[in-house]
Amino acid sequence: MATAEGNIDDASDSEDERGGGSSRPPKARPRRHQPMDDENSVIGGRFLIAGGLMLAAAVLPNSKLGEKMEPPEPEATHVESFAVGSKSTVRITLVTADYNLLACASEQAFDGVHCAYKTPTDAWPREPNEGNDDANNKLNIVQPYRTWYDNKLVFVAGLWSRPDVAFRLHQEPALGILPDKLARFAVECQLKFVGRMDAPKLRWNPQQSWVDPDGPAWVGRAETCKLIDEPQ
């Protein structure tokens, strides 16, 4: 026979099993892993990286660190400092086709160097003891060039006779090849200035007309030349 106490205990146990009457909180169920959480994290990370790159692009070029990372620009060509008898280092951009393409016309000669033409229609007369122009790589022939990278006009004699440039011409002969198919390169030459042409004519291609430069032009004899890297 069941006692009253026994009945009370049974009832209490039944309520505990049903979850009623107990003071203990129910156990929390573990939160399921949501794929969306990973996707949001990835997207957020990408935005953070993109923002960092944009900030670096805006700040670095104007910072001292940006100045150290960027290659320095070549020194400008100080044409205003040229003088007869002085020397200067000049950087020139060219292709091997320029050996045959570039020409100037002037009746002036300086220290034995002169243009290939005396006038636009008359070639410069050759001296009896003067060698063949092509045999000595235009040692005494003045040609017009543009400096790299500031595009200043300068007239130079003997550039192709310097060993490094002569070897480049030997490696990459230009005959029968369109100039735009040839690799452009840069040279750094030490020039000794021998004079200043008052009113020369020049042309960049035999198929073009002669043109007048903007004012007088300095003439330098190439004493040394070396090939240098030209940034793209």
Residue range 34-57, pLDDT digits in tens: 555 555 555 555 666 766 667 655
Domain count, the chain: 2
**E strand segments, the chain:** 87-94, 103-105, 109-110, 113-115, 117-119, 122-123, 141-147, 153-157, 185-197, 201-203, 217-228
Query: Band of the pLDDT at 160, cuts 50, 70, 90?
Result: very high
Q: Is residue 208 part of a domain?
A: yes
Residues 43 and 150 placed together within one structural domain of the fold: no
Residues 50 and 95 placed together within one structural domain of the fold: no
Residues 61 and 134 placed together within one structural domain of the fold: no
Q: Is residue 9 part of a domain?
A: no
Q: Give pLDDT, residue 14.
A: 47
Q: What is the mean pLDDT of residues 177-200?
A: 95
Q: Give pLDDT, residue 31.
A: 58
Sequence-distant (≥ 6) Cβ neighbours of residue 136 within 8 angstroms:
161
Q: Is residue 107 part of a domain?
A: yes
Q: Percentage of the chain surpassing pLDDT 90?
A: 56
Residues 51 and 165 placed together within one structural domain of the fold: no
Q: Is residue 141 part of a domain?
A: yes
Residues 148 and 200 placed together within one structural domain of the fold: yes
Residues 60 and 100 placed together within one structural domain of the fold: no
Query: Band of the pLDDT at 214, cuts 50, 70, 90?
Result: confident
Asked whether 71 and 231 are in contact (CB, 8 A), the reply is yes
Structural domain containing residue 93: 79-228
Residues 44 and 150 placed together within one structural domain of the fold: no
Query: Band of the pLDDT at 113, cuts 50, 70, 90?
Result: very high
Q: How far apart are CA 195 and CA 213, in angstroms?
A: 16
Q: What is the mean pLDDT of residues 18-22?
A: 48
Q: Is residue 23 part of a domain?
A: no
Which has more pLDDT, 230 or 122?
122
Q: How far apart are CA 167 and CA 149, in angstroms?
A: 23
Q: Is residue 15 part of a domain?
A: no
Which has more pLDDT, 151 or 18?
151
Q: Is residue 11 part of a domain?
A: no
Q: What is the mean pLDDT of residues 112-131?
A: 89
Residues 205 and 156 placed together within one structural domain of the fold: yes
Query: Band of the pLDDT at 130, cuts 50, 70, 90?
Result: low
Residues 94 and 200 placed together within one structural domain of the fold: yes
Q: Is residue 186 part of a domain?
A: yes
pLDDT in tens, 193-212: 999 999 999 999 999 999 99
- Least confident segment among 31-35, 104-108, 121-125: 31-35
